[in-house]
Structure formats: structure tokens, C-alpha cells
A and B are shown apart, each in its own frame.
Chain A
């Protein structure tokens, strides 16, 4: 099956710094989503981005489907950005396949 790899696994930054999270996938996909998992476990939708670039406030994402990767950019990080970020892809019309996540810690 398709493999999803996220990097880095852990990232520690100071408040105000910028960060880039990467997601590589091993095959063509129909769908790619980025999520932020809050401390209570809920997955919060950030982007639905099978291809192209989208922006939402301080966050933006780019997926280059032909090269099988996606990037999530966080600018001017805040402590509330801390948590685990997941990339997930779909082949066909069924399951989301998740990466192992990037744990982001923003220190004040």
C-alpha cells in the first residue's frame, strides 16, 4: 500500500519563528489533507489540498502531486500552534492513510 512519511518527527521553535513541515507519499493520490491534533485528540482540518497552493492566515500549504510531496508552512508561530501535525492521503475513494506526524513545540 501507499506509504506516507513526514519530516521532521519533532520540531522545537521559539515563538515568532517560521516552520516548514514536509509530507512525502509513495504513489499518486486523489486527496491530501493536513490536520492539527489538539491536546484532547481531535483532528482539526487545516487544508484539503490534492494539488496546488492554499493559504489560511498564517498557514499555507503546497502540494506538488507530480513529485509526490506536500509542504505545510507556519509563519510567526504562536504557542497555540503546538501539537501534532498529520498529513493524510487517499487513493481511490476509501481510507485516509496517515503519516506518523510531526510534533511541533513552540516555546514562549
Chain B
């Protein structure tokens, strides 16, 4: 059984640029959620995707957007990057919403 995988593991972007992060869900899981973790904090919910539709969103601006594909993999897109977007971005998958979630290794984004 393949676990949750994220790519890339690290990247550095310049303020104002756009970035796309990718996540492959665990086999048999149809729900993907994205979280942002700032240094020294707990992860914060960005949004969740189920059956290719956004199914819940946290307190993040519209420049954070996402997609889910028919194979349940997902992308997180962030436009007009700001310095405060520097964080660890975590993807989680689960069989359905609310059941046990499993996380990928994360993407560490640095905005300079």
C-alpha cells in the first residue's frame, strides 16, 4: 500500500510569484486535505477536496486554491506569494471526511 506522497520536498520562491504543490493520496482514499504549519505552531486547515470538489475551507484568502483529480491526487496553488506564506505545507488523505487521516512528508516553502 502506497502512502501519501508530496512534491517537491523543498522550494524557494520570490514574493509575488505563484507556486503549485502536489499530493498523491494513499491507495483507497478519496478525500484530500491541505494544512499550513508555521514554525512552532500546529497545522492549520486550508481546505479539503472530495470527489473533485472543495468540501470545506479554513480561514485562508482566495489566492490559496486547489484541485483534485479523478485519481484523487491533488494540487495546492498559491498566487501572489507573501513572506508570511513561508511554512510547511502538509497534505493528508483519508477514506472519507472525518475518518483517520494520514499525512505526507510535507513541502517546505520559503518565500524571499
A: which residues have CB within 8 A of B?
4, 30-31, 33, 35, 40-43, 45, 48, 86, 88, 90, 92-101
Identify 8 new A-B residue pairs, CB closer than 8 A, beyond the known A94-B55, A100-B41, A100-B42.
A41-B37, A41-B105, A41-B108, A42-B103, A92-B97, A92-B98, A96-B101, A98-B43
Which 8 A-B residue pairs are closest in the complex by CB-CB distance?
Answer: A98-B42, A93-B97, A95-B45, A93-B98, A94-B56, A43-B103, A48-B100, A42-B105
Knowing A41-B88, A43-B90, A86-B42 are in contact, say whether A94-B98 is a contact too (CB < 8 A). Answer: yes
In the complex, the answer to whether B92 meets A96 with C-beta atoms within 8 Å is yes
- Interface residue total, chain B, C-beta cutoff 8 A: 27
Secondary structure of the A side of the interface? Answer: strand
Q: Which residue of A lies closest to B92 (CB)?
A: A96
Asked if A45 contacts B106 (CB within 8 A), the reply is: no
Interface residues of B in 57-112 (CB under 8 A from A): 58, 88, 90, 92, 96-106, 108
Docked complex Cα distance between A97 and B102 (Å) = 14
